[in-house]
Structure 1
């Protein structure tokens, strides 16, 4: 991938070069410009596939440069970087077909995601470009995804061949299929065609976007957009199982095709805010009144206890109740709802680690976070929770001891650990000498009796600290320590933290 960097601050230019090297050595920086005018000349000279540009620069700003680049016939993809978060800048970039807009200071995570998205879009363009250039689908794709400007030749052609006027109204329909897109795209095309075959007097074209995981339909001849929305809501969505998310927006003018999809797509996740699938109609969806999204702490406490008990059935029940707590007839902001899922699953992962039932090194949290925040359907959130559970092993670890006496001693410790049972008392119950029991216990477990009991008590204390709101003196008593101060001292020796510090860390 040939990359051109246009940025007037040298440190940022150098930083972008270093970020590209970290991400992939195959990105080749073919030029660096200090303003838009110089960037335009370098773009004509090197024909880069990707332009990374600032907005505010001397002589010519980034958006003016991109307009000139596209007017010259070149079609590179662009990442726009700015220290200004005003909407007008982002809107101006979207009209040019820019899909990636980053604010300074740039983080490695955000930049990596943006460059990955751009690369995927370029690859998709190369794969999906039809052999017959000039079809209606290709023209719409080029305009909608920012591959081409709306020229006079294009508008004349569309008017003469398809009776599509430059300034007429269009209905953009986005059918999101999520992770099922690859396997269901063909059936999705068939379903939409069959569904709309019963709707008379409309004309449309359909195309797919792997980047959006969607089939996009542009309806360019129709009488009533509101009637089509009602048709989607009460007929089309009633025929699907809830995994299909459908959104629509009415726009005016070919120039606004890119902005239309850019406006609509981010709001598609409002689908998860409703108990049943509804058509996401932009901009009406922006006026929806929401309830305060209260995190269900009861379900968190329930799943903590279930994980420490290594009870898989209880864990699954707690996750189901967590799902159900947001399906109570109220409408919540989807971002707040997703943040509840992030907090809940982070808790599950942390508690699983403390309880010893989570596989080490088995979770990539950034990928998990991206999946949650990009979800647009209930089923996607359900699938993410199920995916998290695959890294857990809920079966209780069996004792490594082969000695019958030691196994019996372990059983007695686990039953009476909270009473302060001693080695002498266990030996008495087993009718053997304390010396013999102590020797065999150390031989079989690799631990002294006192170390084993202490470790077991602290494990139980962790469970109570995480899954209950008991006072520290109550927890100390429940795990066999009559003196809370002594309990705190022992806890710190084992974990490196005082009980209160440990509880705050996990919370």
Structure 2
């Protein structure tokens, strides 16, 4: 509830403000005035839900001010304060429709009761409308979603209840919260409300749009759209989360609200091309000049080699380098940036699958690619990359979680695979029988010793094919095959490709 306090004694104004904050955090002091003339002017600018006013004040008393307010068609509720219990004051206040008349000094209980009564009356006022219309927030939500057409009954309700004219201009703001919507929307409403309440002369309504992961702010009373836009860019954006993107568009009348939202929202991903604290203003955003976006092929090749080598530090460094490619000071078309991310992530997932990272198979690539193309912030793209790297590391930890004997057996395979070490030799080094080792190995890994050895050799050969320029016979020797032709046959049996073809498609 937006409240204006009109009281000539500063000590009492401060006391009322403190009482309001104790009663309910939703009671927001939109302004304070020291006499009736200043109060009338502020009421015209702020159009508060409630005016709390003293009776006796210099220049213009409280009751004269209320009469002037109502004469101007501003239908705000009022609580009148007085140090006198004279009947004439109370009778005049009642003629003006004031039902709450409190004597000074004001007690917390009396003020709390009066505010609750006013709150209920405001709620009742808003119910005096066509049956199918909800609150102002619900009405705007239905209009923005396209589920409601603005007929005469709705237009009359908005005009009579809120002074909103069908043909007037609106400012529509979108605060996109993305994946943080579920945890941040309430905080976002508080921050936006608190910030916009400091901007004089505007009235607004905040609408939750969960399906867009956004908060829509409909500003329906303001003087200059250009001034408001500048203020949002340099003031409001500082108070929002790093995950949020703010968009701005003006609508030419109630019937243009949905179309204005549709014009703005597709451009919200331009935040990816700039930085997180840029206001996306339509139609200005349509005039932005962009550079040529070149895919960093070399980083992809280096990333594949790092994945093959299980070099997680290198993987993280290369992902950062990839993201920095699009933060070089130039402006690129956001769709092209996201297409580069799709290409990059698709390539590294395929490489992870090729070398046998089991968790890579579990990633639903189509859903992941949709998340990339629907992203509106660099933070969202960064989170997707981080999630993939975490899955890679977790998959390797799971692969290494077998019992101690099998861990030691694997360690020996990884150390001596290129010498052709056998099951018997490893069993001898571990002081157990080959039969016991073979049984335990199959139970823990799900494959036989010979299959594991073969797959490991092929995995190491993939690393060399992608990460080096070694010749085929050199790679065969390096992984323990003396005959290059036999190596090629085994490689194709495992992968479905010849080594040369794998190298060609992986670079």
Alignment CA distance shift 1:441-1:185 (3 Å): closer
Matched with 1:286 is 286
After TM superposition, list the pairs within 5 Å mapping 1:409-488 onto structure 2: 414-415=414-415, 455-468=455-468, 472=472, 475-476=475-476, 478-479=478-479, 484-488=484-488
Matched with 1:394 is 396
Alignment CA distance shift 1:358-1:228 (3 Å): farther
TM-fit CA distance, 1:460: 1.3
Matched with 1:188 is 188
TM-fit CA distance, 1:381: 1.6
Matched with 2:355 is 355
Matched with 2:256 is 256
Matched with 2:296 is 296
What CA deviation, in whole Å up to 9, does each residue of 1:340-367 have, x standing for no partner? 2222222332222233333275322232
TM-fit CA distance, 1:495: 2.9
Secondary structure, in 3 states, of the residue corresponding to 1:215?
A: strand
Secondary structure, in 3 states, of the residue corresponding to 1:251?
A: strand
Structure 1 CA distance for aligned equivalents of residues 440 and 209 of structure 2: 61
Structure 1 CA distance for aligned equivalents of residues 308 and 482 of structure 2: 24
Alignment CA distance shift 1:134-1:488 (3 Å): closer
Matched with 1:226 is 226
After TM superposition, list the pairs within 5 Å mapping 1:194-343 onto structure 2: 194-343=194-343
Matched with 1:92 is none
What CA deviation, in whole Å up to 9, does each residue of 1:232-291 have, x standing for no partner? 211111233421110011121211111111111111111111134211111221221222
Structure 2 CA distance for aligned equivalents of residues 403 and 138 of structure 1: 63
Matched with 1:375 is 375
Structure 1 CA distance for aligned equivalents of residues 448 and 173 of structure 2: 69
Structure 2 CA distance for aligned equivalents of residues 138 and 441 of structure 1: 69
Alignment CA distance shift 1:441-1:188 (3 Å): closer
Matched with 1:167 is 167
What CA deviation, in whole Å up to 9, does each residue of 1:452-495 have, x standing for no partner? 76544322111223345655455446445676555433422443
Aligned: 1:497 with 2:497: yes
Structure 1 CA distance for aligned equivalents of residues 146 and 440 of structure 2: 69
Secondary structure, in 3 states, of the residue corresponding to 1:359?
A: helix
Aligned: 1:142 with 2:142: yes
TM-fit CA distance, 1:386: 2.8
**5+ residue gaps in structure 1?**
1-129, 431-435
8 Å CA contact retained: 1:401, 1:445: no
Structure 1 CA distance for aligned equivalents of residues 224 and 361 of structure 2: 55
8 Å CA contact retained: 1:400, 1:445: no
Secondary structure, in 3 states, of the residue corresponding to 1:170?
A: strand
Secondary structure, in 3 states, of the residue corresponding to 1:393?
A: helix
Secondary structure, in 3 states, of the residue corresponding to 1:394?
A: helix
Aligned: 1:366 with 2:366: yes
Q: Under a length normalisation based on structure 2, what TM-score does the superposition of the two structures give?
A: 0.62
8 Å CA contact retained: 2:276, 2:377: no
More divergent stretch after superposition (323-332 vs 385-394) = 385-394
Larger Rg: 2
Alignment CA distance shift 1:469-1:132 (3 Å): farther
**5+ residue gaps in structure 2?**
1-129
Structure 1 CA distance for aligned equivalents of residues 390 and 278 of structure 2: 31
Structure 2 CA distance for aligned equivalents of residues 383 and 311 of structure 1: 20
8 Å CA contact retained: 1:170, 1:220: yes
8 Å CA contact retained: 2:349, 2:360: no
Structure 2 CA distance for aligned equivalents of residues 411 and 197 of structure 1: 65
8 Å CA contact retained: 2:289, 2:331: yes
Alignment CA distance shift 1:311-1:365 (3 Å): same
What CA deviation, in whole Å up to 9, does each residue of 1:76-131 have, x standing for no partner? xxxxxxxxxxxxxxxxxxxxxxxxxxxxxxxxxxxxxxxxxxxxxxxxxxxxxx99
Structure 2 CA distance for aligned equivalents of residues 189 and 411 of structure 1: 56
Alignment CA distance shift 1:501-1:219 (3 Å): same
TM-fit CA distance, 1:331: 1.6
TM-fit CA distance, 1:186: 1.4
Alignment CA distance shift 1:482-1:297 (3 Å): farther
TM-fit CA distance, 1:377: 1.5
Secondary structure, in 3 states, of the residue corresponding to 1:140?
A: helix
Alignment CA distance shift 1:460-1:437 (3 Å): farther
Alignment CA distance shift 1:154-1:462 (3 Å): same
Alignment CA distance shift 1:263-1:440 (3 Å): same
Structure 1 CA distance for aligned equivalents of residues 452 and 155 of structure 2: 81
More divergent stretch after superposition (280-289 vs 156-165) = 156-165
Q: Under a length normalisation based on structure 1, what TM-score does the superposition of the two structures give?
A: 0.62
TM-fit CA distance, 1:422: 8.0
Secondary structure, in 3 states, of the residue corresponding to 2:396?
A: coil
